């Protein structure tokens, strides 16, 4: 009797979805039982394939509803789609707790990016003046990136009080970026990029720059596979790959 984890990939025709399909197929302990995309009936496919885990790389406008569908259909979500609001996360966490069925929503599945977030949060304890620059390909649907938002949240939870900033006037509206939890975020969208992020911290007479670069979409797959393997035994919904690394 096979003990492979039965995996369905939603968004299988997209760039990240195709990469996820290849990654699942390459693992002996995982069984790819389905591939769905826009126009397919996700709930019916989960039921028909008996999928235990559904990997979702779709579109920000569908991410929250897809995650709810996966949970209600008896499967565990592993979601790399971004665009979730704090209210979305809270609602889905409550649903997962009610169903006692867990999973993972991660703005970034690259282990190096997760380490960058951790290092940035630690550094902000000592260098609280910080800004984030995130750079992605020109087809990315949301800005700022989910990674940048998660990074800002982690920094805001740990950083020391920042110094009083000088009064500013933007001669070009938005030139200083947007702010999340009081932290400036600058979004760049260009062809040729994949996913990149810098966190710049400043102090008296010094700066510290932390940077992570995903040079191909393959960089996300070790984190996806790790989450797929852990998802079937989770009884709550985790937000961020860093939350399950040591489970």
Residues serving a catalytic function are 136, 140
DSSP structure class, residue 243: G
CA distance 22 to 32: 9
Count CB atoms within 10 A of the CB of residue 182: 11
**Residue among 112, 103, 109 nearest 223 (CA):** 109
* End-to-end alpha carbon distance in the chain: 27
Sign of CA dihedral 35, 89, 105, 116: positive
Q: Strand 237-239 and strand 76-79: pairing?
A: unpaired
CA distance 224 to 91: 23
How far CA 15 is from CA of 19, 21, 22, 86, 218, in Å, comes to 6, 10, 11, 26, 10
CA distance 196 to 211: 7
Count CB atoms within 10 A of the CB of residue 145: 24
CA distance 160 to 72: 41
> What are φ and ψ of residue 162, in 5° steps?
-80, 160
């Amino acid at each position: 009797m096979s003990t492979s984890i039965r995996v369905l990939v939603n968004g299988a025709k997209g760039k990240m979805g195709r990469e996820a399909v290849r990654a699942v197929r390459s693992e002996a302990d995982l069984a790819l039982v389905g591939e769905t995309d826009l126009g397919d009936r996700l709930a019916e496919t989960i039921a028909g394939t008996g999928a235990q885990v559904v990997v979702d790389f779709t579109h920000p406008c569908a991410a929250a509803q897809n995650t709810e569908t996966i949970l209600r259909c008896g499967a565990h979500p592993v979601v790399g789609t971004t665009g979730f609001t704090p209210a979305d996360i809270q609602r889905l966490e409550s649903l997962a707790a009610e169903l006692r069925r867990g999973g993972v929503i991660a703005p970034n599945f690259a282990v190096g990016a997760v380490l960058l977030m951790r290092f940035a949060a630690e550094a902000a304890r000592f260098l609280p003046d910080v800004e984030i620059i995130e750079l992605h390909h020109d087809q990315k649907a949301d800005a700022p990136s989910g990674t940048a938002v998660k990074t800002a949240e982690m920094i805001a939870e740990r950083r020391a009080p920042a110094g009083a900033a000088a009064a500013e006037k933007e001669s070009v509206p938005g030139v200083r970026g947007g702010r999340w939890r009081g932290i400036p975020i600058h979004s760049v969208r260009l062809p040729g990029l994949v996913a990149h992020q810098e966190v710049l911290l400043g102090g008296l007479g010094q700066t510290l720059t932390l940077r992570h670069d995903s040079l191909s979409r393959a960089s996300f797959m070790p984190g996806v596979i790790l989450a797929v393997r852990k998802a079937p035994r989770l009884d709550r919904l985790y937000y961020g790959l860093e939350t399950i690394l040591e489970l």
